[in-house]
């Protein structure tokens, strides 16, 4: 074999030996081959498991998907390049053989609303919204619109409302609708929607699961009934997560439960402190006994684990005062994400819900003095001290 050929072939395609890596390695190959084409034929025909092409699956992403499927008690998962890609894939899967109507929670992440209104509705999908915390309204809307899909968040972004997933699942299933739950804020440590009757669960891997601000990724966890369609669409559309991102996400997930416990503990302390501050008008946090969905929270969430998100309104503050407060923060990071080990603060009006009209934001309860805080795993005293000195500038 000449050097030009050696340069291409030497060292590759070694047979597996007895050594087993203790962590899943990064496998970046796009194409896989076998000693006999018959074996590849059976893999293409889904008769046996195996890898053929990276748009279908890779060893690294498959390991991540197996991990996340286990955590969410699902049938299988598909890892995607972003949370929005995962949500798009889940919605398309749900509507593939159902009525092209979506009934969505009226309080959702801004980009999710844009996906519904700017992508699905122009494609002929009817989109309706409902207060998912009002079961009477949900039952009425399902009966009226006969949706093919119901879309909710475990904890709404950014006002932290909690709908009764199990009851919504009953109504959805009775109507033949698929229930999709975006559970990014909760993670499977707090709530596992599939155990409550959801058909599919979506996560932004970028957030609590990976948890270190260095991975962009998403995930769809599905029940058995939607797997064939989910995999078919995934293979055609190609939203798959890259191997290196899958490796980083899997590494992050190894500590997510420990991190999430600390996020929750810190958020409880921070929320209680904010509630007592004279410059804070209102605090939104799940542990608040006056939370409008307190009964649902108590029923669905483990005691003491209420998430790491805290939203609050600064008294008599407008855009200028909010900017001054955020700019004064020294440790809390001014960033548009959440769920990282470091605390992050966001102004929904200019970021997560920027594309939503002021009137719609008002209907959703998102006021101009609202900020959203993703409480990190730093020392709680340091987070509080930073917030205190910044509030003194308002």
Residue numbers annotated as active site: 55, 109, 182, 207
CA contacts within 13 A on the Cβ side of 199: 27
Cα separation, 20 vs 66, in Å, equals 18
- State the sign of the Cα–Cα–Cα–Cα dihedral 94, 98, 99, 105: negative
Residue tagged 């006002």 (tokens) = 159
Residue tagged 């797997």 (tokens) = 227
> Is the Cβ–Cβ distance between 394 and 321 less than 8 Å?
yes
> Is the Cβ–Cβ distance between 72 and 192 less than 8 Å?
yes
Residue 119 has φ and ψ, to the nearest 5°, of -115, -55
Cα separation, 92 vs 229, in Å, equals 9
DSSP 392: T
Instruction: State the alpha helices, DSSP H only, in the chain.
Output: 3-9, 37-44, 59-72, 83-95, 110-114, 135-145, 165-174, 187-190, 227-237, 243-253, 256-275, 294-300, 319-328, 358-364, 380-391
For the chain, how many residues are written?
394
Phi/psi zone of residue 92: left (φ > 0), alpha (ψ -120 to 50 degrees), beta?
A: alpha
CA angle 171, 173, 177 (to 5 degrees): 100
**What DSSP line would sit under 235-278, residue for residue?**
HHH--BPPHHHHHHHHHHHTTHHHHHHHHHHHHHHHHHHHHT-T
């Amino acid at each position: 074999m000449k050097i030009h050929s050696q340069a291409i072939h030497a060292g590759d395609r070694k047979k597996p030996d007895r050594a087993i890596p203790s962590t899943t390695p990064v496998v970046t190959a796009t194409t896989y081959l076998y000693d006999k084409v018959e074996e590849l034929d059976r893999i293409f025909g889904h008769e046996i498991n195996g890898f053929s092409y990276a748009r279908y699956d890779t060893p690294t992403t498959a390991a991540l998907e197996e991990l996340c499927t286990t955590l969410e008690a699902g049938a299988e998962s598909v890892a995607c390049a972003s949370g929005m890609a995962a949500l798009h894939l889940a919605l398309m899967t749900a509507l593939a053989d159902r009525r092209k109507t979506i009934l969505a929670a009226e309080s959702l992440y801004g980009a999710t609303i844009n996906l519904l209104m700017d992508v699905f509705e122009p494609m002929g999908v009817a989109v309706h919204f409902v207060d998912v915390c009002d079961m009477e309204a949900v039952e009425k809307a399902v009966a009226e619109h006969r949706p093919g899909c119901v879309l909710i968040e475990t904890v709404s972004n950014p006002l932290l409302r909690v709908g009764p997933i199990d009851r919504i699942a009953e109504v959805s299933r009775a109507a033949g609708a698929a229930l999709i739950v975006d559970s990014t804020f909760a993670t499977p440590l707090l709530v596992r929607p599939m155990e409550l009757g959801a058909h599919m669960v979506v996560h932004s891997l970028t957030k609590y699961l990976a948890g270190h601000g260095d991975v962009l990724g998403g995930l769809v966890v599905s029940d058995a009934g939607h797997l064939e369609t989910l995999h078919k669409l995934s293979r055609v559309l190609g939203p798959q997560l890259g191997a290196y991102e899958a490796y980083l996400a899997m590494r992050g997930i190894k500590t997510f439960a420990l991190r999430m416990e600390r996020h929750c503990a810190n958020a409880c302390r921070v929320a209680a402190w904010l509630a007592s501050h004279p410059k804070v008008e209102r605090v939104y946090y799940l542990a608040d006994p006056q939370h409008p969905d307190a009964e649902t929270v108590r029923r669905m969430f483990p005691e003491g684990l209420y998430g790491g998100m805290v939203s609050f309104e600064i008294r008599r503050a407008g855009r200028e005062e909010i900017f001054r407060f955020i700019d004064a923060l020294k440790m809390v990071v001014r960033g548009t994400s959440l769920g990282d080990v470091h605390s992050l603060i966001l102004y929904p009006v200019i970021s997560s819900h920027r594309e939503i009209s002021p009137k719609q934001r008002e209907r959703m309860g998102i006021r101009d003095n609202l900020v959203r805080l993703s409480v990190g795993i730093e020392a709680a005293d340091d987070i509080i001290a930073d917030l205190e000195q910044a509030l003194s500038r308002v």
